[in-house]
Chains A and B, each alone.
Chain A
Amino acid sequence: MNRFDYTRPASVAEAVQAGTGEQVRYLAGGTNLIDLMKENVDQPTTVIDINRLPLNAIEELDGGGLRLGALVPNSDTAWDARVEQRYPLLSSAILAGASPQLRNAATNGGNLNQRTRCYYFYDVATPCNKRKPGSGCGAIGGVNRIHAILGASDQCIATHPSDMCVALAVLDAIVQVTGPEGDRAIPIADYHRLPGDEPWRDNTLRPGELVTGIDLPAEDFTKNYTYLKLRDRLSYAFALVSIAVAMRIEGSTIAEARVALGGVAHKPWRSTEAEKLLKGQQPSPQTFSAFADALLAGAVGQCKNDFKIPLARKGIVRALKQAAEATPQSQTDKRIA
């Protein structure tokens, strides 16, 4: 790990003041940043320890939503009684990720801003446009089993590894940030970005901006939902493909359905256009398959990850069935219902 200046501001204003500069990083739980620093992937000259900032509460919002403080640990968020009762999809997705120890240290703001797990990104001996702009992409034509099938570019095919963010995408969360130019509220759909020709930019956060919280709008997806995570081993492994579904069923028809995919793109993958195919329909394998095809339109494999396309198609159909039948995937009993 390189040497760096260490500061521990006590207020958000102080943190943001210190936060501008090329090689300045905010340190939250450290479960991603410290790992990247050990590998010399990230070499900040200044580390701002934000753990003492007052951003560690979950609060009620006017209108029935919740604000998740950026520094609330992932485990406390998943096990918060209000989150469990009102946003069980979010609890489920968080509990599907990492390990109990990691979730205790990992924070909501850090989870949102975690970097890709692309092997080449992590290996400074190889080319990577995300780590070193213009150096090339080792994953294209290389070992790309975990890489993107949707929204990739000819410069980067990395995926965003978070489980939590896939649920946030379905819940239409709003990311609250503050920075040198003041406060902003960013809809989750606009927070993460596709790699395009600037693959080094994971998201739309501007230099020096700090995430202060994540707002969950009032929603009623407490019955017909699921988070189905498919991976190489049943626990303590990143998703190859994951599917978050939130549905409202009125009578026997789908009044609303939202679906986001993890592990397949540089951001949680959602299409409100495709979701129209589900609205007003009876839950059925045919409807679910037609939707899966629409959501996966344009999917391309990179060779080693070709399997993800049929896996995602089947996973989407299965997850929609789980949600429609109100039998959400258990994150303890890993048998797929």
Chain B
Amino acid sequence: MSIAVNSATYAAMPIGRVPTKLTINGETRTRAIEPWTTLLDLLREGEDLIGTKKGCDHGQCGACTVLVDGRRINSCLKLAVTLDGADITTIEGLGQPGKLHPLQSAFCDHDAFQCGYCTPGQICSAQGLINEGKARTREEVRELMSGNLCRCGAYTNIIDAVLDVIGEQV
């Protein structure tokens, strides 16, 4: 299906936006979205899902990592309107207090954070890595987690936590 939204449409409608259907953490909703809104800004400001963090807003840190149809991407460089029909999982969708996702438990067990700012991105990225199925060894996990910077330098423990969960799954 083709769609076209132009300036005239914006002028005609007080809120000239693109209707976009998104399933976020299992809940499907249709939102009228301004085309220049990134997925990151939509999640944080439109949907009040503030678990996903904005570190750099330029694809350089990985703090904004979420899963789109099971694949990890940087939500800061993705326009939300381009994802019509997609299934999005954020840290809030992976686990809840009292019912932690295995990666969340492993991060606690391994002390895989200090300030915690990078952690939601790290965990979503690790889930993406598991879905890809390409990392088995410590070296492979290190390389394939390299899209997530940790300003506190918790890397060693992050790799331990991810390896722990991968180990449980094989």
Residues of A within 8 A of B (CB): 1-11, 14, 18, 27, 29-31, 34-35, 37-38, 47, 49, 51, 75, 79, 98-102, 104-105, 234-236, 331-334
Contact = CB atoms under 8 A, between A and B. Distances in A.
B77 interface: yes
Contacts of B144: 100
Interface stretch (B22-30, B100-108, B126-134): B126-134
Contacts, number: 108
Contacts of A235: 143, 146
A7 B72 contact: no
Nearest to A33: B77
A93 to B, nearest CB: 15
Cβ-closest 9 pairs across A and B: A99-B147, A235-B146, A6-B35, A5-B6, A7-B4, A10-B2, A105-B73, A101-B147, A332-B143
A16 B7 CA distance: 20
A34 B79 contact: yes
B79 A30 contact: yes
B143 A7 contact: no
A332 B2 contact: no
A102 B74 contact: yes
Contacts of B57: 38
Contacts of A102: 59, 74, 77, 147
Interface string B51-73: 00000011100100100000111
A10 to B, nearest CB: 5
A51 B82 contact: yes
Contacts of B6: 5, 7
Nearest to A37: B36
Given A30-B79, A35-B58, A49-B81, A4 B36 contact: yes
A137 B131 CA distance: 45
Contact of A34 (B5, B38, B125, B147): B38
A47 B35 contact: yes
B111 interface: no
A30 B80 CA distance: 11
A27 B74 contact: no
B65 A331 contact: no
Interface in B1-51: 1-7, 10, 18, 35-36, 38
A6 B10 CA distance: 11
A19 B35 CA distance: 18
Contact of B82 (A18, A27, A234, A332): A27
23 contacts: A2-B36, A5-B4, A6-B81, A7-B2, A7-B4, A8-B3, A27-B79, A31-B59, A35-B58, A49-B82, A99-B146, A100-B128, A100-B132, A101-B73, A101-B125, A101-B128, A104-B72, A104-B128, A234-B146, A236-B147, A331-B143, A332-B137, A332-B139
